[in-house]
Structure 1
Amino acid sequence: MATIVREFLLDAAPEEVWDAARDVGALHTRLVPGFVVDTVLEDGARRVTFTGGFVARERIVDVDDARRRIAWSVVGSAHREHHSASLQLFADGARTRAVWIADVLPNDAAPAVDAMIGQGIAAMQRRFAAPSLAAQR
């Protein structure tokens, strides 16, 4: 099984980022706008439509407020035997340190999943970017 671990910083307080992350039905508006274009809640899961039209059904495994951690698994995928992931948030001064971990099978699916995670990280970093000094003038 391939494991992907990506750690990154967001220019917002962990409470603000967690408030958006834990809102599992609003990925497209609150956490990763531009990467996800629609999220529809279903019984115990969410149907996520990504930019480009790819759709995944994700079972929400856990939303842990105390640890600021969400875990999910992709179900019913014709492209993957297994795909589970988590996002956990930590305070890093006034910013948030985020850790996104994904486990995938088959192993050769890892580069495509890693590329999508990179796009998700970029969307989160845009969403939680500190305003530039030029924008403040």
Structure 2
Amino acid sequence: MAHIRKEFLIDNSPENIWEVLRDVGSVHERLVPGFVTDTRMEADTRIVTFANGVVVRELIVDIDEAARRVAYAVVGGSMTPKHHHASMQVLDDTEGRSRFVWTTDVTPDELVGPIGEMVDKGVLVMRETLKAVPAPTDT
């Protein structure tokens, strides 16, 4: 099984980043706009359309408020690996920054190249988007 791990710092608070990450039905608007062009929820499954035309069905396995972690698995779509499980987590870092960790396990190993390229592109968009997230306003 191939393993992809991306870890990076964001100059924004973990609370602000978590508010975006936990909104699993709005990744096209809040997490990776432009890289993902549409997201629809059907019960516990989200249908994600990427800018390159790939559409996947992702089972939302867990949204862990305490750990600030979202876990999901690809269960169908136009690119369906034999196994794909991923998690994204926001951790505290120093000076109000966040550490973002995205881990993906996939088989067959041949898919690590194309999936790794998509992850790399997603990280580029995500880093820019998340550093600009404003603090939530109390209404």
Could you tell me the TM-score, scaled by structure 1's length? Answer: 0.90
Cross-structure match for 2:87 = 86
Give the partner amino acid of 2:10.
Answer: L
User: Gaps (5+ residues) in structure 2?
Assistant: 133-139
In the alignment, is the contact (CA less than 8 A) between 1:12 and 1:128 conserved in 2? yes
Give the partner amino acid of 2:90.
Answer: L
SS of the residue 2:131 aligns to: coil
Cross-structure match for 1:134 = none
Give the partner amino acid of 1:102.
Answer: T
Cross-structure match for 1:110 = 112
Deviation at 1:7, TM superposition (A): 0.7
What pairs up with 1:113-128 in 2 under 5 angstroms? 113-128=115-130
Deviation at 1:128, TM superposition (A): 2.2
In the alignment, is the contact (CA less than 8 A) between 1:40 and 1:48 conserved in 2? yes
**More moved, 116-125 vs 59-68:** 116-125
Q: Distance in 2 between matches of 1:61 and 1:89?
A: 17
Give the partner amino acid of 1:88.
Answer: Q
Root mean square deviation of aligned Cα: 1.2
Deviation at 1:76, TM superposition (A): 2.1
Q: Distance in 1 between matches of 2:130 and 2:87?
A: 19
Could you tell me the TM-score, scaled by structure 2's length? Answer: 0.89
What pairs up with 1:1-137 in 2 under 5 angstroms? 1-77=1-77, 79-93=80-94, 94-129=96-131
In the alignment, is the contact (CA less than 8 A) between 2:74 and 2:80 conserved in 1? no
Q: Distance in 2 between matches of 1:62 and 1:112?
A: 25
Number of equivalent positions:
130
In the alignment, is the contact (CA less than 8 A) between 1:69 and 1:89 conserved in 2? yes
Deviation at 1:63, TM superposition (A): 0.1
Q: Distance in 2 between matches of 1:129 and 1:22?
A: 16
SS of the residue 1:128 aligns to: helix
Deviations 1:102-122 (A, max 9, x none): 000100100111111111111
Q: Distance in 1 between matches of 2:97 and 2:131?
A: 10
**Identity of counterpart residues, as a percentage?**
47
Q: Distance in 2 between matches of 1:95 and 1:119?
A: 22
